[in-house]
Amino acid sequence: MRFTRLRLNGFKSFVDPTDLVIAEGLTGVVGPNGCGKSNLLEALRWVMGENRPTAMRGGGMEDVIFAGAATRPARNFAEVSLLIDNSERLAPAEFNDSDILEVVRRITRDAGSAYKLGGKEVRARDVQMLFADASTGAHSPALVRQGQISELINAKPRNRRRVLEEAAGISGLYQRRHEAELR
C-alpha cells in the first residue's frame, strides 16, 4: 500500500490547505523546532483512524483543529485526506474501481468525526480495518513517535509482542476475533 499524497486543512498548525506529494522512495521532512514535522505524522495516523487523544498529543479529539494564533482565528473543522496508490487493486471490493483510493477524515467542533473511503461515507472501523489488514494503520510500528524507541526498549514482553503481531499483519484478525467475542 503506497501513499501518494497527504492533504491537510485546518489540522493543528496546518491552518491553510496544504498538499504534500509523497514521492516514491525515501521522503525527509526537515525544519526548525515547532514547524509541524510531528504534526504531519499525526495527520497520517489520524486519517487512518487514530482515536486516542494522547497519541495526538492532545487532551480531547477536537484539539487537532487549528486553535487560533495571534493573527488568525480558530477554525471549526479539520480535514485530512490521504491518497493511496490502488493500481494493484488491493482495496476491499466495494472500493476497488479506481487506481487511486482516497481516505478522508473530517472533524467538526461538537459534531465529531466523519470518514469517507473512495467518496462513500464509512465508519471509523472500516478505515481502521482497511489499514490493519494492510499492516499499516494508526498503531503501525512503521510510524515511530518521538521517544518511542526508548519506550520499546523498556516495554513489557506482552507489549513488545503486539508490535511484532502488527508487523506480521495479523492484528486485523485479532480485532475481528475480539469483536466476535463481544457479540
Among 13, 38, 76, 175, binds Mg ion (CB under 5 A): 38
Give the residue from 136, 154, 138 showing the smallest Cα distance to 50. 138
d(CA 183, CA 180): 5
Q: Is 12 annotated as a binding-site member? A: no
Cell, residue 152: 520499546
With CB under 5 to 8 Å by kind, the binding choice for 167 among Mg ion, ligand ATP, none is none
Q: Is 37 annotated as a binding-site member? A: yes
What 16-22 contacts at long range (C-beta under 8 Å, 24+ apart), as own/partner pairs, is none
Binding to ligand ATP, residues 13-72 (CB under 6 A): 13, 31, 33-39, 63, 65-67
Q: Is 154 annotated as a binding-site member? A: no
Q: What letter represents residue 158's amino acid?
A: R
d(CA 53, CA 46): 10
Shortest separation between residue 65's beta carbon and ligand ATP, angstroms: 6
Q: Which is closer to ligand ATP, CB of 40 or CB of 132? A: 40
Q: Are 45 and 38 in contact (CB under 8 A)?
A: no
Give residue number: closest CB to Mg ion: 38
Q: Are 81 and 100 in contact (CB under 8 A)?
A: no
Q: Which is closer to ligand ATP, CB of 36 or CB of 53? A: 36
**Looking at the DSSP assignment, which residues form a beta bridge with residue 90?**
none
Residues at the interface with ligand ATP (CB under 6 A): 12-13, 31, 33-39, 63, 65-67, 146
Binding residues for ATP: 32-39
Q: Which residues bind Mg ion (CB under 5 A)?
A: 37-38
